[in-house]
A and B are shown apart, each in its own frame.
Chain A
Amino acid sequence: MNLLVQCPKCRAWLVEGIFNQPELQPCPACAVPLQVEIFPALFRKISRGQSGETILIEGESSCFYHPQKKAVRPCDGCGRFLCALCDCELNNQHFCPACLEAGKTKGKIKSLENQRTLYDNIALSLAVAPLIIFYFTLITAPMALFIAIRHWKSPSSIVRRTKVRFVIAIFLALLQITGWGILFVVLATRAHH
């Protein structure tokens, strides 16, 4: 019998009769209630990859990276001919390794983007957190304002997100800067008198 999935608690291999049942089923080893949904991908063999065919006939298109190998398709990013080895498939698109790397580092391929900075939260934290010790706001309020303006158009979260945090940060930062301004004017006026 082929062993497919382990119990996440006791690591015992689960047996048939547990999979794709409508209700929770006890693990045969530790009796913890489990519901295991299995999909056809579990039985799909992983393709081992190809090394690329050597060019036998003169005049055949060759791979940009491996001139001795036969080209199988062009890269969807740069258009260069790729052999089977260099052909990297991603969501039904085909890229060369260089485009794949560039797409990840430069964020050109959205489905490879795996991290983003939340500048709105940084600006809001700089505007709100130092209020506990008010003196810090002399430095942090301009910083919050700068970050909010500088990154107003920077990509925020990949999922839905409004600019309300930026707006609150700008409002609070301006309020703090105005407060400091008034304070300095009052102090200067008093010192003058």
Chain B
Amino acid sequence: MAQIEYQRLTRPRARTRFAAVRTSNGSLWLGTDHLLSVDSNGYTESYKRFYFHDIQAITIQKTGNWQIWNFIWGMAVFIALALAVATKPPGWPSSWDSNDEAGLFFFTGLIALLVMFLLTNFFLGATCKCYLRTAVQIEELPSLRRLRKTRKIMAKIRPLIAAAQGGELSPQTIAELMRQPEAEPAVSEAVPGADESGITPTLQ
């Protein structure tokens, strides 16, 4: 069988971590008739294929991690600046050039690094989680973490999925299908992390 050519959709992103160490990565690839989710621990790769004709729904959930990391990096920059000012030698800044070059380099480097992290996080934009649902599973796609990127990928794969399933559904069509008494959910829901009690949640 010929090798399937895959097009990279996302770069590897941490799927699982142990403390701060990444233990496995997840990335997403586009095949001819399916999406390929690749999980790698560095020495083995495991693959999950989501065929376009099997994808039932894709849910994007906006998360607050973007604001949290902006705050963390902002605070770190502020603290580094405060330390730099607190430890400045007398006559600063003119005296730093001659008397405290090590301190100057250290704080300049530290602040530049922290500002770089802050700006990177800021410009990457809002964070999200993305779930892909088929008839048998709901899979989180860990490499889709930024809303902008996720939407870009959605714009790319939506027509492919729709073409494989005979067209897109408009909100009006969905509303009509939801009102039809004979239409039932294809399978019971199984949200990741949910309990196995089997109790059907009600709309609050």
Contact residues of A with B, CB < 8 Å?
Answer: 1-13, 15-17, 19-21, 24, 28-29, 32-46, 91, 108-111, 113-118, 121-122, 125, 157-160
Please state if B48 and A16 are interface contacts (CB–CB under 8 Å).
Answer: no
Contact residues of B with A, CB < 8 Å?
Answer: 1, 3-6, 8, 29, 33, 36, 38, 40, 42-49, 51, 53-62, 129, 131, 133-135, 138, 151, 154, 158, 161-162, 165-171, 174-175, 177-180, 183-187, 189, 191-192, 194, 201-204
Please state if B203 and A29 are interface contacts (CB–CB under 8 Å).
Answer: yes
Please state if B169 and A46 are interface contacts (CB–CB under 8 Å).
Answer: no
Report the minimal beta-carbon distance from B99 to chain A, rounded to whole angstroms.
Answer: 38
Given contacts A117-B43, A118-B45, A159-B36, 12 further A-B contacts (CB under 8 A): A6-B189, A8-B61, A8-B192, A35-B151, A39-B161, A41-B186, A42-B133, A110-B1, A116-B44, A116-B47, A118-B40, A160-B5
Report the minimal beta-carbon distance from B145 to chain A, rounded to whole angstroms.
Answer: 14
**CA A116 – CA B168 in complex, angstroms?**
35
**CA A110 – CA B5 in complex, angstroms?**
12
Chain A residues, CB < 8 A from B3: 110
**Which chain B residue has the least Cβ–Cβ distance from A24?**
B62
Given A2-B178, A8-B129, residue A13 in contact with residue B201 (CB < 8 A): yes
Partner of A40, one of B8, B42, B165: B165
Chain A residues, CB < 8 A from B40: 118
Please state if A115 and B46 are interface contacts (CB–CB under 8 Å).
Answer: yes
**CA A3 – CA B178 in complex, angstroms?**
7
Report the minimal beta-carbon distance from B126 to chain A, rounded to whole angstroms.
Answer: 9
**Which chain B residue has the least Cβ–Cβ distance from A40?**
B165
Report the minimal beta-carbon distance from A134 to chain B, rounded to whole angstroms.
Answer: 23
Please state if B61 and A16 are interface contacts (CB–CB under 8 Å).
Answer: no
Partner of A32, one of B49, B61, B168: B61
**CA A41 – CA B50 in complex, angstroms?**
13
Report the minimal beta-carbon distance from B184 to chain A, rounded to whole angstroms.
Answer: 6
Given A40-B169, A46-B135, residue A5 in contact with residue B177 (CB < 8 A): no
Please state if A113 and B135 are interface contacts (CB–CB under 8 Å).
Answer: no
Report the minimal beta-carbon distance from B172 to chain A, rounded to whole angstroms.
Answer: 9
Please state if A41 and B43 are interface contacts (CB–CB under 8 Å).
Answer: no
**Which chain A residue has the least Cβ–Cβ distance from B129?**
A8
Please state if A1 and B189 are interface contacts (CB–CB under 8 Å).
Answer: no
Please state if A122 and B177 are interface contacts (CB–CB under 8 Å).
Answer: no
Please state if B169 and A38 are interface contacts (CB–CB under 8 Å).
Answer: yes
Please state if A37 and B57 are interface contacts (CB–CB under 8 Å).
Answer: yes
Please state if A110 and B4 are interface contacts (CB–CB under 8 Å).
Answer: yes
Please state if B184 and A2 are interface contacts (CB–CB under 8 Å).
Answer: yes
Given A6-B189, A39-B56, residue A33 in contact with residue B47 (CB < 8 A): no
**CA A21 – CA B151 in complex, angstroms?**
12
Please state if A114 and B57 are interface contacts (CB–CB under 8 Å).
Answer: no
Chain B residues, CB < 8 A from A159: 6, 8, 29, 36, 38
